[in-house]
Amino acid sequence: MTTGSIEAGEAKEAKSEGGAASKAGAAAKEKGDGKGKADAGGPSIVTLRKISRSFQRGRETIQVLDGLDLEVPAGSFEALMGPSGSGKSTLLNIIAGLDRPTTGDAEVAGSNLSRMSDGELAKWRSQNIGFIFQSFNLIPVLTAAQNVELPLLLTHLSSDERKKRVATALRVVGLEDRMEHYPRQLSGGQEQRVAIARAIVNDPKIIVADEPTGDLDRKSADDVLTLMERLNKEFHKTIFMVTHDPAAAERASVQRRLDKGALQ
Amino acid sequence: MNLATYARRNMFRRRWRTILTIVVIALTVVIFSAIRTVVVAWSAGADEAAQDRLATRHKVSITMQLPKRYIDDVRAIPGIKAASWAVWFGGKDPKKRIPFFATFAADQHTWFDVIDEMKVPAAQLAEWKTTANGAILGDVLAKTLEVKVGDRLVITSDIYPGDWEFKVVGIYEATRKSVDRNTMVFRWDFFNNDPRASFSREQIGWMMSRVSDPRKGAELSRQIDKIFDERDDQTMTMSERAFQLSFLGAFSAILKAFDWISVGILLIMALILANSIAMNVRERTHEYGVLRAVGFSAGHVRGFILGESVLIAALGGVIGVALTVVLINGLLGPVIEESMAAFFPYFRTPPSVLLMALGLALALGVAAAVLPARRASRLKVTDALRRLD
Amino acid sequence: MIPVQYNIRSLMVRKVTTAATAGGIALVVFVFAAALMLGEGINRAFGSSGRQDVAVVLRNGSDSELSSGINNDLVNLLKGQPGVSPDRAGEGGVPAVPGVIGEVVVVVSAEIDDGSGGTTNVLIRGMPAGGMAFRPEAKIVSGRAPAPGSNEVVVGKSITGRFKGISPGQSFDLRRNRPLQVVGVFEANGSAYESEVWGDLDVIRTSLGRSAGVSSVRVRLASNGQFSAFKSAVEADKQLGMKATRESDYFRKQSEQTSGFLVGLGIGVAILFSLAAMIGAAITMNGAVANRSKEIGTLRALGFSRLSILISFVLEAIALALIGGVIGTALVMLLASVEVSVLNFQTFSQVVLSFRPTAAVVVTALVFSGVMGLVGGLFPAIRASRVSPVEAMRA
């Protein structure tokens, strides 16, 4: 398990020191110059081949995805747009290992997801994927810090180590002063930033975001998107975001459109 | 924080639901323990019966009597250490301070040697042997009838007419908790000489014998019955335990009903607990989806649900057991032992019942969580995330 | 008012929760209704069976025929007492009916015929000639009546087939080599008599070695109203040392302890159970209120008053409890064919009781379940009525 790059990034930011260890290698270099809006030339971190996904509703079979191919280079920030029912969320779920294609191969972060059991997928998710949901999905009975700490409970880290990481993640999202607040004591924007801290605390390779700004006002949405950009550029996270919001899509380096189960 | 923190917080998320569920479990544990205590207390006398004692009664009917000379035949059998006899008197308190108590006339020379768990001080026993109308009472009965040694006591009988006057010469003490402390014993010769009992003259109700070797009990029982087999009045001899059970056996329908009732209360407990857990799980389905997305496995979700259910059941069970100890063993038991001593000389919840109640609560805690846990862990993460209710 | 269909639909949507809660209530109602039905069964066996115009005479101090004893010569003295109906001679096929009968009553051990090897007591009544005619409610339903003065007996309908040897065609011993032959089965209007064995007075008395007397005397009165005259005459005569009770009262008193114990026990258990079931209903209704706070807010915003919200939720709780009540009452009807053999404390013998369903039992059971719903649902309903429309809509 690769850990520590968030701290490393933090350190770089704080002390303005260069050359911190980074696992995102080539992509990092390319983005280092600030242009960043590249068809990042790094190796693919997501490779989907001939993906189909159909659902059974009663007797009817609904074909949501049909023979879809997709490559996402490591370190890119991609936005996926498309009308409701186009299969955006299904595609996102397949990348995140929450759903499995009916046919086709999904290789994400070096693992072939199609061949993994539910248990293996859960473990894989905890190490490789950070989630950002539209409705934040914080656990209401836990404080901000405890919410962020939740995924770390699946690791063998010591309590002190976990605390350190939680503090770092919350500092990255700018909420170090809200650690002991409960979700209901936070604004929508703050809740989503806590959710982002939860998504990065495990130092995943990929962050998937499903309409991360859907429940937010413009100002909070901008803050969240800026934060995501920073995660992409400074911490070299690959981000795959489903959104309806053109302004949000604008911030990504690659925009894709999905319509009727196929990428345009 | 650790996973237990999350589980604990979850437990009191619907505070009243959890508290009420715990209250129900505690309540049902108390009810269950009380019912089992009745069953246990009911047969306590029989369970504690002496192993080395045989009881002989009339074969046809408990109300029919045997000739007194039968005792000599029994005493003559090798292996019988001692034997004594008694006649049921059906005594009643004319002032009705107690609805029912056991009264019988017994042989003053041998009775307390054979029934040695009723302890009478030697001086009082000697006094009894010289006082024709002397009576010996249990300490609880003496208190109820407001008499002490030396007092005059008048009782009536359900069977024999008129007022019967006795002199209280002794108080026996119970050396075993199953001994009825509400019994009155007086002299058989006094009874036998009274004209009002003329139709029972030289008749006895039952015989109690001590055997030298308890393992030979069954054999000796057969031997006794065989002696009288050719006579007009045949006997039925059994161990004291069987003798007592033959009285209790008549209540078997009620005891059976008690068994069903204890199953019923457990069912209600299970239904309510399962409902609470199912409601919790239903409301948190979305959250379980989030946990799964973050990387928790289906096993974790099952564990959370099962753990919460068992914890609630355990809390309710422990509170219920504590309440049982306080309510039954502390408050109710002593009252019942005094007022209903004929039926329940010893009314306390034994540890075995408390353990069983706690164990069943825990088992039901597991059972109640099985279905909701299975459903929640089998639900697809994507479906769970979509559920918002 | 919020339409009740809204509540019914809410219950149907939450199937598992509704079923679990109603199931608990059904169990309570089952126990409750079973106790009531047993009470009705006991009433029928004891309460309705004795006759108003028959007096039971026992020895002073005895509460039951079993412990009572009366000398033979005293029986005849009773014939001359005021209010006693004279013997009626039989004519044209109508049997003779005596005015006074002395009977011997004893319990004997009987082995229960269920393979358990357990024994219990059965009540045997030895009656003089005319004993059956004395009780017009008694009828032979199979086999025949015992021949007078013989060793033949008839067995009550309730206990036929329950004990070894006490069934038609079989025989049992009261004393060595004096078997009693069972030749028929009688019924007696569901009364406690149906748990007895009836035979000839002299045969049974001889078997028991009790030729000196009888247990009790029954006296046919010229009319109902003659009872007090008879009673005071008998009880005034200290020589007799007897007391008289109306047969109907005697039976009721015989069952009082047993009936009070059994019915009290059943209802006590049901009430304890109902505490748990009511809390169960409260938990469910509380959950319903919490899950529907948005809905409640909307209703309030639409203009429904606090009171109508309160009533709506109380009605929902009552509907929920009634589902359980109906299920419990339906299930308890299965007991209607079940008979239980219990010990009558007074006679120390077995009586067979049945569970009797009556309209009153059904209504009481349903009302009981409704009350459980009302009590369990009240606090959640109050909570619902306090939901603020503004807050609920925002949540």
Average pLDDT over chain A reads 83
User: Which tokens is A97 given?
Assistant: 């290992």
Distance from CA of A123 to the nearest CA of B (A): 6
Phi, psi at B60, each rounded to 5°: -80, -45
User: With contact defined as beta carbons under 8 Å apart, do A146 and A225 qualify?
Assistant: no
Helix intervals (H) in chain C: 4-13, 15-42, 72-79, 201-208, 227-236, 247-291, 293-302, 306-332, 359-385, 389-394
Q: Sign of the CA dihedral C218, C219, C223, C226? A: negative
Residues B171, B259, single domain; the answer is: no
Note the pLDDT of residue C93.
72
Q: Which of A32-36, B1-5, C386-390 shows the lowest mean pLDDT across its residues?
A: A32-36
Q: What is the pLDDT of residues A86-136, one digit of tens each?
A: 888 889 999 999 888 999 999 999 899 988 888 888 889 989 999 999 888
- Range with the poorest average pLDDT among A25-29, A246-250, C180-184: A25-29
- pLDDT of A42: 67
A18 pLDDT band, cuts 50/70/90, is very low
Confidence of residue B62 (pLDDT cuts 50, 70, 90): confident
Q: Do B161 and C60 touch (CB under 8 A)?
A: yes
Tell me if B186 is assigned to some domain: yes
Find the residue in B nearest to C208 (Cα). B64
Q: Mark whether B332 and B378 lie in a shared domain.
A: yes
pLDDT at A259 over 50: yes
pLDDT for position B222: 92
Closest to A151 (Cβ–Cβ): which among B2, B287, B294?
Answer: B294
> In 3D, which of B90, B92, B88, B82 has the Cα closest to residue B65?
B88
| B34-47 pLDDT per residue, tens | 999 988 887 776 66
CB contact under 8 A, C283 and B275: yes
Residue C372 has pLDDT above 80, yes or no: yes
**From A31-45, A183-197, A222-236, B41-55, the region with the lowest mean pLDDT:** A31-45
Question: What is residue A32's predicted lDDT score, i.e. its pLDDT?
Answer: 37
Q: From A129, which residue of chain B is nearest by alpha-carbon distance? A: B294
Q: In the predicted model, is pLDDT for residue B113 greater than 80?
A: yes
Select from A122, A142, A159 the Cβ nearest to the Cβ of B295. A122
The DSSP string of C240-256 is T-EEEEEHHHHHHHHHH
Q: Is C104 on the interface with B (CB under 8 A)?
A: no
Residue B245, domain member (yes or no)? no
In-domain check, residue B52: no
Do residues B288 and B209 both lie within one domain? no
* C-alpha distance from residue A206 to each of B263, B293, C384 (Å): 55, 13, 45
> What is the mean pLDDT of the segment spanning B293-316?
91
Put simply, the answer to whether B297 touches A123 (Cβ < 8 Å) is yes
Does residue B218 share a domain with residue B83? Answer: yes
CATH numbers and ranges of domains, chain A:
5-42+71-84+128-263 (3.40.50.300)
Where does chain A show beta strands of DSSP type E? 44-57, 60-73, 77-81, 103-108, 111-112, 129-132, 206-210, 238-242, 254-259, 262-263
Give the Cα separation of C340 and C343 in Å (integer). Answer: 10
What does the pLDDT look like over A44-97, one tens digit per residue? Answer: 899 999 999 988 888 888 888 888 999 999 999 999 998 887 888 889 999 999
pLDDT(B251) > 70: no
- Among A185, A182, A189, A193, which residue's Cα sits nearest to residue A141? A182
Q: What is the residue range of B38's domain?
A: 3-45+251-386
Alpha helices in C160-246 (DSSP H): 201-208, 227-236
What pLDDT, on the 0 to 100 scale, is given for residue C90?
Answer: 76
C-alpha to C-alpha distance for C209 and B203, rounded to whole angstroms: 12
* Collapsed DSSP state (helix, strand, coil) of residue B300: helix
- Residue A21 confidence (pLDDT) above 60: no
The answer to whether residue B43 neighbours chain C at the CB level (below 8 Å) is no
pLDDT at C217 over 70: yes
pLDDT tens digits, A212-240: 998 899 999 999 999 999 999 999 999 99
Is there a single domain that holds both residue B196 and residue B258? Answer: no
Selecting from B64, B162, B253 the residue whose C-beta is nearest the C-beta of C340 gives: B253
End position of a domain, from candidates B184, B201, B233: B233
DSSP H or E stretch at residue C303: none
Strands B163-174 and B134-138: parallel
User: Which of the residue ranges A254-263, B301-310, B363-372 would you say has the lowest mean pLDDT?
Assistant: A254-263
Q: Give the mutation candidate from B1, B308, B386 for the A interface (greatest A CB count, under 10 A).
A: B1
In this prediction, residue B61 carries a pLDDT of: 83
**Given this model, what pLDDT does residue B249 score?**
60
Span B53-79, mean pLDDT? 90
Residue B53 falls inside a structural domain: no
What domain count does chain B have? 2
**For position C342, what pLDDT does the model report?**
75
The structure's pTM equals 0.78
Q: What is the mean pLDDT of residues B278-283?
A: 90
pLDDT of A6 over the 70 cut: no
Cα dihedral sign, B93-B97-B100-B101? negative
State how far the Cα of A130 lies from the Cα of B294, in Å rounded to an integer.
Answer: 7
d(CA A237, CA A205): 6
Q: Which of A16-30, A52-66, B196-210, B325-339 shows the lowest mean pLDDT across its residues?
A: A16-30
Nearest to A98 among B286, B287, B381 (CB): B381
Contact at CB, A150 and B6, closer than 8 angstroms: yes
Residue B190 in domain: yes
Residue B240 lies in a domain: no
Q: Name the residue in chain B with its Cα closest to that of C34.
A: B257
Q: How confident is the model at residue B196 (pLDDT cuts 50, 70, 90)?
A: confident
Provide the shortest C-alpha distance from residue B126 to chain C (in Å): 33
Question: What is the tens place of the pLDDT at every residue in C112-124?
Answer: 777 766 777 889 9
Quote the pLDDT of residue B341: 66
Q: Could you tell me if C328 and C29 are in contact, meaning their C-beta atoms sit under 8 angstroms apart?
A: yes
List, as ranges, residues 54-93 from B with C-beta within 8 Å of C: 59-64, 90, 92
Q: Indicate the residue among B206, B233, B260 that finishes a domain.
A: B233
pLDDT band with cut points at 50, 70 and 90 for residue C57: very high
Per-residue model confidence (pLDDT) at position C303: 82
CB contact B9 to A (< 8 Å)? yes
Over residues B300-314, mean pLDDT: 92
Residue A27 has a pLDDT of 37
The whole-number average pLDDT for the span A139-156 is 91
Structure tokens at A238: 């690959």
B68 is a domain residue: yes
pLDDT digits over C307-323, tens only?
999 999 999 999 999 99
A122 inside 8 A of chain B by CB: yes
Q: Is residue B35 domain-resident? A: yes
Give the Cβ contact number of residue C110 at 10 Å. Answer: 24
Query: Does the pLDDT value for residue A10 go beyond 80?
Result: no
A146 and chain B in contact, CB less than 8 A: yes
H-helix segments, B295-350 = 298-324, 333-339
A141 at interface of B, judged by CB pairs closer than 8 A: yes
Q: Is A206 on the interface with B (CB under 8 A)?
A: no
More confident residue, A7 or B330: B330
Contacts of C293 (CB under 8 A, 6+ apart): C387, C392, C395
Strands A77-81 and A254-259: parallel
Q: What single-letter amino acid sits at A176? A: E
pLDDT at C259 over 90: no
Are B129 and B210 members of one domain?
yes
User: With bands split at pLDDT 50, 70 and 90, how would you rate the model's confidence at A23?
Assistant: very low
Q: Are residues B257 and B339 in the same domain?
A: yes
Examine the domain organization and report whether B217 and B98 are in the same domain. yes
What is the pLDDT at residue C39?
86
Is the model more confident about A38 or about A51? A51
Q: Are residues B22 and B106 in the same domain?
A: no
Task: Tell which of B233, B268, B297 closes a domain.
Answer: B233
Residue B169 in this model has a pLDDT that exceeds 60: yes
